[in-house]
Structure 1
Amino acid sequence: MPLLRSNTADKFIVDRRKPHRNSDVARAVRRTRDRLSQQVGNLDFDRELLKLHARAMVGGATVIPLLVLAIAATGLLAGMDKQISIWALFTLICYSIVAFMARRVERTEAAELDPILTRRDFLIGHSLCGLGWAWFAWIGCTACQIDHFQVVKAIVLLLAMAATAITASSLRGSLLATFVIPVAVYAYAETKLWMPVETMMVGLLVAALPFFVYIARHLNRSSLMLLSFRSEKDALLAEVETAKSMSDEARRRAEDANLAKSRFLASMSHELRTPLNAILGFSEVMANEVLGPMSNPTYRDYASDVHDSGQHLLDLINEILDLSRIEAGRYQLNEEPVMLLNIAEDCCHMMELKARNKDIRIVQDFEITLQRLFADERAVRQIILNLLSNAIKFTATGGEVRVRVGWTAGGGQYISVKDNGPGIPDDEIPIVLSAFGQGSIAIKSAEQGTGLGLPIVQGLLAMHGGEFELLSKLREGTEAIAIFPLSRVMEELPALPTKAVAARRR
């Protein structure tokens, strides 16, 4: 019968060959970083400046035309001829051409702009506007009723220069292209009269032009800073998006790995423990010669070794399952009143045989006035056994393990297991406290562990709201302290009066 292959992908399998799904964001980061390093003369940078100039011209398209209309209306009311109207029409047409070009540049993508041609077109447009202002500087008014007409023209030209310096500052040279000719025409027209006031106005215009050029350059530098800040903002946003996408990808992979781990542990708990129990049972029957004596004593030793190895493997599996349940938050505490002192005595008695085989002495130093704890007895017993097992494992023959149980300064209770073994270097303590972590001494030891005992102790204590401390010095020993908080200590119930007890018995 042919096997049917499921079309549904295994959601627990992580495909690490998949390309990064946010490569577009990474490319955007590179582009924005390139823009940050740009300087004047770079094509992309010049395109951004031209776009900025176009937006400024579109935004201020009505400022100077309104000034032109006001001048024309004032001139007609003052008795000037139709020349002022023709000048106004010509100037408005010139500014309309510049506004049309600005609108076209604003709607065009930056990558499609030719910065050299666009800059040239803008400068030509501003030069045409300058011809309009030159015409205005040449216009005379013999029949109008305006005193100091030449002074008024100079003031108008100053206002136009100021407005142009502000609106056209993003384009270098635009102010000079617009007002060099008008200032020259005004100076030529007024110096022929050589009147004191007009001469002062000529000097003022000539001095004002470089001043406004300086202002325009200062505003241009501000535009450059604006572009730089905007590029930096884009880069930061792109980096944040990249970091977020990487975090999402890492979280997805972690979730997949966690699901795969849970699936593996669930399978292992059934697939491994079931045959292990059979191996332990049969090897124990063979080692104890339940079904009859074995003629070869070597086989009996082999059966005992098989039983010991199977028991070690079963303990390892149980530790892995316990740690995985603790990390997943599925370890259920069966809380009840327990006596920490009694549990510690039982654990010391259970480890007595193992300690005696290594000629290690277990010293008990208990305070007898301890109250009950509201805790999981199995978890407390596992904590103490893990600490005792580690202490005996790393204590040399003829050493000593001291077990203390008592009160903490905050009103909680603690159990301390201290050995006089080789100790742990300070830089290896975080490794020892991590899952499957082993220090250099443990690696060199012939009696290696799994590296899960202390993480399980930390996890169980955290579930009880307690703390774990590991203090160690090289060549002096290690002390492990498990602390249960005050909230776990139960208050001692007051004794009932004798009369009340007698009444209850009746």
Structure 2
Amino acid sequence: MPIPGEQPDLTALPPESSPVQRRLAAQYVREARDRLTSSSGTRPAFDVELLRQYAQNRLSAGLVILLLVATIGALSSLWSGAITAIAWTIGVLIIHAAIITACKQFLKLPPSEVAVPKWRLRFILLDLFYGLAWMFILIHPVGVDETSGTFMLFVMLLVVAVSSMLSSSLPIAAVAATFPVTAAIALDFVLHGGLRNYILAAMAVTAQGYFSVLAHRLYSTTLATLQARAEKDALIGELEQAKAISDEARRRAEAANISKSRFLAQMSHELRTPLNAILGFSEVMKTEVFGEHAVPAYKEYSADIHNSGVHLLGLINEILDLSRIEAGRYELNEESVSLAGIVEDCHHLLKLRATNRGITIHEMFENDLPRLWADERAIRQICLNLLSNAIKFTPQGGEIWLKVGWTASGGQYMSVKDTGPGIPEEEIPIVLASFGQGSNSIKSAEQGAGLGLPIAKSLVDLHGGTFVLKSKLRIGTEVIVTFPPERVVAAMAPMTEHAPSITPPGEPVLTAEEKRRLSRRPLFRAGT
């Protein structure tokens, strides 16, 4: 937090911290404006708060001051007479009552209606009268012997200490309440002469200076506390405003995302209808079902149209799947499936493409893996997307490893690792985002829409699994998909037969657990 009254060095901040610069500049302008409009050099809100604290201190110490005045009045009657002591006590109590009344009136006012200069002057004058009243009892013309001199000094220190503490939030009032007492005592000691009286006068002046410094320190601490609290309130206000703006922006972004997903889903359905007709007619023309073309080039054009349509249909299907997932309308059709079997089927499906590119695919499957409770279509799409990407970006003569096995927590995993060019670390978040493509994908001859990995990751998330992509430049890329232990279907334990006891002959004794197993419903476990 910048020091109050000191202009912050905005040029020392880095260029990217423009919000910090604006905040510091606004704070400096606000403080300068407050200093110009305040008579005490502080912010107007601080002036009111300091006066309120002064009034609260006075009210809280009202009973203590009352007892102090009564005690000093009773003791002073021993040397000044009862009439003088009573008159002085009544006068001080009247001033004290006026201070208490003024403080109560001030605290009843709302902060917006407080005239700070008026109330500050009123409190200063009341404290001045309070200090003068104490001065009159302490300079009563009597012979200053050792006992009376010590008593006067003690009373002076007590009055100065109490007044300094109570009026610390209004330093001028503290001086007005204590300076007349100290000046009167010191002057009284000096006029009577003698080394002892000179020492007592010096002690009185020193005590006044000490308590003045202490009151100033208390005032500075109080002011710093108010400034810290105001800064904290300002920061809380800024945070709440920023949170409100962020929540509104997030709400709009979510609404826009849902609208986008619905639009894509609708458009995908609308495009697939005419596209199916294009594929059908182009295939008929390509295969020359109704006779050969008069011009051979038409057959090639028909094949190009059909291939382009197939590519476009695949793209539309990917967009449709992604939009359904993002819109929360993708429902899993779960059943008992074999993860290794699905990965092996996908390998056979894409083996011809890999062979044409001179790529070798290795299978590394653990034996006797139990089945998974998952959506077979989704698992197959995950594997096809990952394996297609690996074949697409692996150079000729490269290798791909397909792995299926147990995880450490009892789940199952599927891994696709290639020897392709790899992905830069800073581009991994890009390729995992919808329609995101890395630099290698842009340079590739087989460009896609950048939906394969995002769709695969989303489908894995729907199954409660994890999707991890590891890649190093010029070494290769590995994608590891894991499924939680809750989706591993446990093998059914064999039924145990017990010897019949009371049951009729030929009827086995079955426990409740064995009867439940006979229902033939799949059970789940965390793996072994």
Q: TM-score, normalised by structure 2?
A: 0.76
The question of 1:462 aligning with 2:461 is answered yes
Contact 2:77 2:84 (8 Å CA) reproduced:
no
Q: Indicate conservation of the 8 Å contact 1:151/1:198, yes or no.
A: no
Aligned pair 1:127/2:128, yes or no?
A: yes
SS of residue matched to 2:490: coil
Aligned to 1:87: 88
Deviations 1:191-233 (A, max 9, x none): 5555887666545433321121122122122212212321232
Which residue is 2:239 aligned to?
240
Match of 1:67 in 2: 68
Whichever residue aligns with residue 260 of structure 1, its letter is: S
Give the residue type in structure 2 aligned to 1:323. Answer: L
Q: 1-side partners of 2:289 and 2:495: how far apart?
A: 56
CA distance in 2, matches of 1:50, 1:367: 78
Instruction: Give the unaligned 5+ runs of structure 1.
Output: 1-25, 498-502
In 1, Cα distance between equivalents of 2:492 and 2:183: 107
Which residues of 2 match residues 78-227 of structure 1 at below 5 A? 80-95=81-96, 98=99, 107=109, 109=111, 113=115, 119=120, 122-140=123-141, 148-193=147-192, 201-227=200-226
Looking at structure 2, the residues matched to 105 and 180 of structure 1 have their Cα atoms a distance apart, in angstroms, of 25
When residues 182 and 396 of structure 1 are mapped into structure 2, their CA distance, relative to the original with a 3 A threshold, is: closer
Q: Does the Cα contact within 8 Å between 1:32 and 1:234 map onto a contact in 2?
A: no
Separation (CA, whole Å) in 2 of partners of 1:495 and 1:65: 94
Q: C-alpha displacement at 1:147, in angstroms?
A: 11
The one-character-per-residue Cα deviations of 1:220-267 (angstroms, maximum 9, x if unpaired) are 222122123212321232133123212322222123223312331342
Provide the rounded CA distance (Å) in 2 between the counterparts of 1:423 and 1:193: 100
**Ranges in structure 2 where 5+ consecutive residues have no aligned partner:** 1-21, 497-506, 508-528
Structure 1 residues 281, 85: closer, same or farther in 2, change over 3 A? Answer: farther
* Alignment check: 8 A CA contact 1:417 1:479 kept: yes
Q: Residues 404 and 416 of structure 1 are in contact (CA less than 8 Å); yes or no, is this contact kept in structure 2?
A: yes
Answer whether contact 2:430 2:436 (CA < 8 A) is retained: yes
Structure number with higher relative contact order (C-alpha < 8 Å, ≥ 6 residues apart): 1
Other structure's SS at 2:43 match: helix
Rounded to whole Å, the distance in 2 between the matches of 1:389 and 1:111 is 76
Question: Structure 1 stretch 58-67 or stretch 238-247: which is displaced more?
Answer: 58-67
2:178 and 2:494 mapped to 1: Cα distance?
A: 106
Give 1:166 deviation, angstroms: 0.4
Match of residue 396 from structure 1 = 395
CA contact (8 A) 1:154 1:201 kept: yes
Q: Which moved more, 1:341-350 or 1:83-92?
A: 83-92
Identity value in percent: 46
Structure 1 pair 423–203 and aligned structure 2 pair: CA distance change class (3 A)? closer
CA gap of 1:43–1:273, structure 2 versus 1, over 3 A, is farther
Q: Distance in 2 between matches of 1:98 and 1:177?
A: 14
C-alpha separation in 1, matches of 2:477 and 2:428: 11
CA distance in 2, matches of 1:443, 1:54: 70
Secondary structure of 1:272's partner?
A: helix
Q: Secondary structure at the match of 1:337?
A: strand
Q: How many corresponding residue pairs?
A: 469
After superposition, give the CA deviation of every residue in 1:402-459 in whole Å (9 maximum; x if it has no partner).
Answer: 3333444555433333333222223322322232221111011121112221122222
Whether the aligned pair in 1 keeps the contact of 2:58 and 2:100 (CA below 8 Å) is no
For residue 459 of structure 2, give the secondary structure of its aligned residue in structure 1.
Answer: helix
Determine if contact 2:411/2:487 at 8 Å carries over to the other structure. Answer: yes
Query: CA 1:423 to 1:151, structure 2 compared with 1: closer, same or farther past 3 Å?
Result: closer
How far off is 1:123 after superposition?
Answer: 3.6
Q: How far apart are 1:65 and its partner, in Å?
A: 4.8
Inter-CA distance 400–42: structure 2 relative to 1 (3 Å threshold): farther
User: Once the 2 structures are TM-superposed, how far is the Cα of residue 31 of structure 1 from its aligned partner?
Assistant: 5.5
CA contact (8 A) 1:51 1:110 kept: no
Give the Å deviation of 1:395.
2.2
The alpha-carbon distance between structure 1 residues 135 and 347, as it changes in their structure 2 partners (threshold 3 A), is: same
Q: Does the residue aligned with 2:395 lie in a helix, a strand or coil?
A: coil
- Give CA deviations for 1:292-350 in whole Å, capped at 9, x if unaligned: 44323333333332332232222222222323333444332222222223222221222
| Alignment-derived partner of residue 421 in structure 2 | 422
Q: Deviations over 1:340-364 (max 9, x none)?
A: 2322222122213333443434444
Quick check: 2:70–2:89 contact (8 Å CA) kept in 1? yes
Verify the 8 A CA contact 1:128 1:178 in the aligned structure 2: yes
Distance in 1, matches of 2:104 and 2:89, equals 22
* C-alpha deviation, 1:389, in angstroms: 0.8
Q: CA deviation at 1:390?
A: 0.6
| 1:445 equivalenced with 2:473 (yes/no) | no
